[in-house]
Amino acid sequence: MPPSLPQPPLPSSPHHLLPLTRWEAAARGALVGVFTDIDDTLTHDGAITPDALQALGELKAAGLSVVAITGRPVGWSLPFVNSWPVDAIVAENGAVALLPSADGRVEKRYQQDEPTRVANFARMQAVLERIERELPGVGRATDSPGRETDIAIDHSEFVQLSDATIARVVALMRGEGMHATVSSIHINGWYGDNDKLEGARWIARELWGRTLDDEMDRWAYVGDSTNDQLMFRSFAHSIGVANVARFVPQLEHLPRYVTQGERGTGFAEAARAILSARAARPER
């Protein structure tokens, strides 16, 4: 993953990228749950930061539901399901839910049935091979063996692709009828109707029988890149960690609030804002 670089200045707006101090305490205190991206939101150089891990635990201990939603694959996510204090990790951009259990096992739930997954997997591998054949220097992400429902091209984790090359990969995926998004490190492509927002709706129904669209003002989302912008648009309480500045020129939908800290430090900052408001609520 590239080293931290000076971030471009964030644009001013009366509605977006507001400092967390502008987030009303009553709204923060009324939250029931937090969804979060993983890469460069909870992590630095691919590992969760200690302050982010502590913040996840404090949110859970306070009674909030906590779900990580990521473009990372099932195989990469599995080791963290029982070691991070979360209710679930929804991997591969909403396609697969990984649920922890007391005995250390992990339950997998899929949005697509098995025949659909098998057929789509074969189609996606053909697209992946075409990308690598037609675009010199472009290759699959190192976590590709753990992927079940999508493909991923590395653009910033271990190699650096130009914006023009990233755009060519996205165009090729979409030309093959795939959905395609760009995270802070990968370009992801898949067949199906899933995305991060659909994954959030699905897991809220699966785990708690809740209709997310009826209570968008009671959940927060924390992210950092272009594949989070659907979440930034949809959640009343959307937060970008400070390194979202890298992607602001490409974002059609900005987060409403932005932290001062980057990556896991920024996530911990958002968690403190939530927890301080809950602590200040009058006893009921």
CB contact burial 78-113 (16+ within 10 A = b; e otherwise): eebbbebbbbbbbbbbbbbbbbbeeeeebeeebbbe
Pairing of strands 151-154, 186-190: antiparallel
Predicted local distance difference test score (pLDDT) of residue 6: 45
Chain centre distance of CA 208: 20
Given phi > 0 = left and psi -120 to 50 = alpha, else beta, which region is 262?
beta
DSSP 4: P
Predicted local distance difference test score (pLDDT) of residue 16: 81
The H helix count followed by the E strand count for the chain is 8, 14
Chain segment 206-217, per-residue pLDDT in tens? 999 999 999 999
pTM of the model: 0.91
* Interacting residues of 64 by C-beta distance below 8 A, sequence separation 6+: 31, 32, 33, 34, 274
Predicted local distance difference test score (pLDDT) of residue 32: 98
Low-confidence residues in the chain, pLDDT < 50: 1-14, 284
Structure tokens that stand for 70 in this block:
């990521």
Given phi > 0 = left and psi -120 to 50 = alpha, else beta, which region is 46?
left
Predicted local distance difference test score (pLDDT) of residue 233: 96
Instruction: Tell me the DSSP string of 238-265.
Output: EEE-GGGGGGGGG-SS--SEE-SS-HHH
Chain segment 235-248, per-residue pLDDT in tens? 999 999 999 999 99
* Interacting residues of 65 by C-beta distance below 8 A, sequence separation 6+: 32, 33, 34, 87, 207, 208
Predicted local distance difference test score (pLDDT) of residue 104: 87
